[in-house]
Structures are given as structure tokens and as C-alpha cells.
Amino acid sequence: MLYDQISADLIAAIKSRNQADLRALQGIKAQLQLLRAEKGASVEVSEEDELKVLMRMAKQRRDSIDIFAKESRQDLVQKEQEELEVIERYLPAQMGDAELELAIQAIITQTGVKGMAQMGMVMGMASKSLAGKADGKRISEVVKRLLS
């Protein structure tokens, strides 16, 4: 499981005194422990749930980077970028733009959707089938472009 890998990497970061990795891995492990506590001791946490937590953390880091960049806080931008790089190590590879466009075009063809009025149907199917492979914001942009 992802939790075990992160725990092992955390120990390695402690031993190597890599502060950026250590800070990010401690945050990841804390979030995963919260997830386990919410689910309860009797319920096994799936890797899909763990990936959702990591995706949420990556999105938070990207948003923080944008805000700090607008406020000219390069020290905080660098810190957030370092943490984002560590988080992205554990996420599945993201789809390229062309690959994402092909996948969404296939969903549009499959559903027979013709216009923006039915965008929700395409978004629902695309979000489920492309979970972890592409960010929801990117999916939405491609769907809007293809349907308009």
C-alpha cells in the first residue's frame, strides 16, 4: 500500500536529513493517518482513497503556489513547489493533452452528446474514467472546448 511506501520513504528522509522531503512526507503521512482514523479501525483504506488524498494535497499546493506568487513570496513558492514535487512522486502519471483530448472525445462519441447543455453527463463519465490520470480542471477545459 501507499501508506507503507510513504512510511519507508519518511524514515529514509529522516536518515538523509533531507528537510524538503521530510516536511512533505510528514504532511502526507498525517493526512493518510487522518483518513484511516475517519474510516475506522475495522475498515481497510483502499489505495484509491489514498490517491484521492494525495490529489487533494497536490491541488492545495498548486493553489498556494499561485497565491504566494501573486504576493511575491518566493520563499513560500519554493517551499510549496518542493512539497508538490514529493507528492507527485506518489501520484500516477498524468495524461498528456493529446491523450486526454482523445479520451474525452471517445466519451463524447459514446454518449452522443452534442452541446454544452449536456456537459454534466460528459464530465461525470470523464471524471470517473480519468480519475487520478488528469486533474478535474484540465478535464473541464477540454470538455468545454470540444463541446463548444
Provide the residue range defining the domain that includes 10. Answer: 2-89
Decide if pLDDT at 63 tops 90: yes
Domain match, 60 and 129 both: no
Domain match, 78 and 129 both: no
The rounded percent of the chain whose pLDDT value lies above 70 is 100
Q: What one-character-per-residue DSSP string does 47-62 give?
A: HHHHHHHHHHHHHHHH
Type of residue numbered 17: R
Decide if pLDDT at 1 tops 80: no
Decide if pLDDT at 14 tops 90: yes
Domain match, 39 and 108 both: no
- How many domains is the chain built from? 2
Decide if pLDDT at 133 tops 90: no
Q: How far apart are CA 65 and CA 97, in angstroms?
A: 22
pLDDT confidence of residue 64? 96
Decide if pLDDT at 112 tops 90: no
Q: Which domain CATH number covers 137?
A: 1.10.10.410
Decide if pLDDT at 31 tops 90: yes
Residue whose C-alpha is closest to residue 108's, from 23, 34, 116: 116
pTM: 0.75
Q: Which of 9-18, 52-61, 107-116 has the lowest mean pLDDT?
A: 107-116
Q: Taking residues 13-36, report their average pLDDT.
A: 93
Domain match, 104 and 81 both: no
The total number of residues written for the chain in this structure: 148
Q: How far apart are CA 126 and CA 145, in angstroms?
A: 14
Domain match, 15 and 77 both: yes
* Residue-wise pLDDT tens digits, 118-132: 888 888 888 888 877
